[in-house]
Amino acid sequence: MVRSLTVALPLVVFLAACAPMIELEDENVALHAKVDSLEIVLAECNDQTLLFQERLSTIERENLQLDDRNRQFAAKLAELQYGRSPEEQQGMATAGERTTVPSVSPVPSSGERTADYRAGTAPDLPFLREYQSALSAYNSKEYVRAARLFSGLLMTSSPNDMIDNCVYWLGETQFQLGQLDQAYGRFTTVLDYERSDKTAAALLSRARVSLALERKEDARADLQRCIKDFPLSEQAETAKQLLRKI
């Protein structure tokens, strides 16, 4: 009996000493389980954040496209109502006066390097916000500021599928500033982009620049191409009206 107690006593002492360690191990396992759960929740939150950013980017892009369409619709409406362009409605200078307007620094010439157009690649949110600011400046007739903003975007942005819009509106801005040669170059750049949704608008705008430069044959060629390649577009209807005036 005494011998049995002698053997059992160390075992009891050992088990008693191990009990806190076992409890600590259980707590450690539980803690790891909580950490794993938190990591899963964090991953889900990150996924939801990315999804939210993608949706926000999509919404902003759609808003910008609507702004572009509203601008083109307003131009067409003015021509239908008054039989002349919005620029003429605003009492703009004649072609000869346009060409005397100095170039706006730091707007690069059409030959300088700009960001590449890449169809199917969405722009990031900073690009969209800066583009919106530039377009708002243009719509507010702050053409010098708009030119600088559009130009800055083209010089600093990574390739995306809104670069063609940016180049197009910089061309329109330079046209308003009387920089006809630069505007012509911008619209030509847009026409060089494959799969651009600004092709029809660029053809019409380049034709207007040619008319301002008194290059009627060049204007006629662009107007006819616009009608032929985009017969159902709004630009085609305007092109037909301009052709009748040449």
- 196-230 confidence digits (pLDDT tens): 999 999 999 999 999 999 999 999 999 999 999 99
Q: What is the pTM of this model?
A: 0.62
Q: Among 177, 201, 160, 181, which Cα is nearest to 60's? A: 160
Residue with tokens 């902003």: 60
Give me the pLDDT at residue 115, please: 79
| Mean pLDDT to the nearest integer, 118-143 | 93
Residues 30-45 pLDDT 10s: 666 666 656 666 666 6
Note the pLDDT tens digit of each residue in 110-125: 445 567 899 999 999 9
Beta carbons of 122 and 79 less than 8 angstroms apart: no
8 Å CB contact between 118 and 160: yes
pLDDT above 60 for 244 = yes
| CATH architecture label of 56-245 | Alpha Horseshoe (1.25)
Regarding predicted confidence, which is higher, 177 or 80?
Answer: 177
Measured between alpha carbons, how far is 172 from 102 in angstroms, rounded to an integer? 16
In the chain, the percentage of residues whose pLDDT exceeds 90 is 50
Q: How far apart are CA 219 and CA 212, in angstroms?
A: 9
Q: Can you tell me the mean pLDDT for 68-89?
A: 47
Helix 125-139, helix 143-156: angle, nearest 10: 160
Average pLDDT, the chain: 75
Domain positions in the chain are: 56-245
Is the confidence at residue 240, as pLDDT, over 50?
Answer: yes
The whole-angstrom separation of Cα 209 and Cα 182 is: 10
Higher pLDDT, 107 or 180: 180
> Please, are residues 164 and 64 in contact by the beta-carbon 8 Å criterion?
no
